[in-house]
Amino acid sequence: MYQELDEFIKYLSVTHTNSKCTSDAYYRDIARFLTFLKDKGIEDLNIDKDIVYQYVEALRSGKITKKKISNATFARNVSALKSFYRYLNLQEIVDDNPFLSLQNIKVKKHLPDVLTFDEMESLLSSFDLASPIELRNRTIVETIYACGLRISECLNIKLTDIDNNNLIIRVMGKGSKERIIPFYPRLLELIDKYLLEYRDIYASQDSPYLFVSTRGSKMSSRSVQLMLQDVQNRLPIKVNIHPHMLRHSFATHLLDNGADLRVVQELLGHANLSTTQIYTHLTYDRLKNAVIKAHPHSRKN
């Protein structure tokens, strides 16, 4: 059964544009189900709906994962198993797809946390640019915020991806989709300073990446996360600052200042406009709260 799972993951990598994180999650979700079958002494992937319902009940209640899972995680598990059995059906390994009997789970979308413009300025100003490491960290944070990047996109930037003359950066997004993102002159000044005072000192000669550690190797996402946690401790900002919050803040601040939604969609690299529209709710809520707090008639009946 696990051989079929391995073949399915290979099939996804060839025919779909799922990210490695999604493929890894699918593998874990399906492997958990195969373990469930094995524990029941079932060695055939041709199963009936009763087994599906038993598994779903055990998964939903937390018996399998040892803790209750969110609607989003449950929906991803169901989606993974539906896709797996669709593949098995196409390969004529099973007769039908028993997971099709499950209703789609509606996942409530939570609005992401963002930094206000003033909080973002405080964050950027908190770095001591006289320190080479602080200079590197500030450049990473501002690059993510200036271009609305995912942390992986930022850390994968190579020196050859930056066009200084036209002020654009070429990034590789999800599904190996390339996009071109403009940036402002202040970021170029910061990058030039970083290259001279940090990268030229620490980077190994064969490293193509813009951002490197003190060992000269490519920076890791975890090191950036820990850096932001450390910076947060010296700021009066209560929310938990993480790399993706900088991307959320980028989108929200653009919309707050009148940017077109489809422009923001293109800059973020979203395949669907509906993904970008979540930021319009953030902007609406911020405007509404501003009116309630500031308008002289807002508290009058």
Catalytic residue among 138, 247, 248, 253: 247
If you search the block for the tokens 């070429």, which residue do you land on?
170
Query: Angle at CA 158, nearest 5°, toward 156 and 161?
Result: 110
**Residue 150 is among the residues annotated as catalytic for this protein:** yes
For 55-106, how does the pLDDT look when each residue is reduced to its tens digit (9 = 90+)?
A: 888 888 888 888 887 878 888 888 888 888 888 888 888 888 888 877 655 5
pLDDT in tens, the chain (301 residues): 678 888 888 887 766 656 667 778 889 889 988 998 888 888 888 888 888 888 888 888 888 888 887 878 888 888 888 888 888 888 888 888 888 877 655 545 567 788 999 999 999 999 999 999 999 999 999 999 999 999 999 999 999 999 999 999 999 987 778 999 999 999 999 999 999 999 999 998 889 999 999 999 999 999 999 999 999 988 988 888 999 999 999 999 999 888 899 999 999 988 888 788 888 876 666 666 656 665 565 666 5
Catalytic residue among 82, 170, 174, 218: 174
Task: Give how far Cα 94 sits from Cα of 29, 44, 51, 89, Å.
Answer: 19, 9, 15, 5
**Residue 247 is among the residues annotated as catalytic for this protein:** yes
- Residue 70's pLDDT is 80
**Residue 158 is among the residues annotated as catalytic for this protein:** no
- Residue 107's pLDDT is 47
Catalytic residue among 76, 136, 150, 253: 150
Task: Give how far Cα 253 sits from Cα of 21, 129, 161, 208, Å.
Answer: 28, 25, 25, 31
**Residue 270 is among the residues annotated as catalytic for this protein:** yes
- Residue 288's pLDDT is 65
CA-based torsion, 221, 227, 229, 232: positive or negative = negative
Separation CA 143–CA 190 (nearest Å): 9
Phi then psi dihedrals of residue 180, to 5 deg: -110, 125
Full-prediction pTM beyond 0.85? no
Catalytic residue among 60, 242, 244, 286: 244
**Residue 253 is among the residues annotated as catalytic for this protein:** no
**Residue 279 is among the residues annotated as catalytic for this protein:** yes
- Residue 253's pLDDT is 93
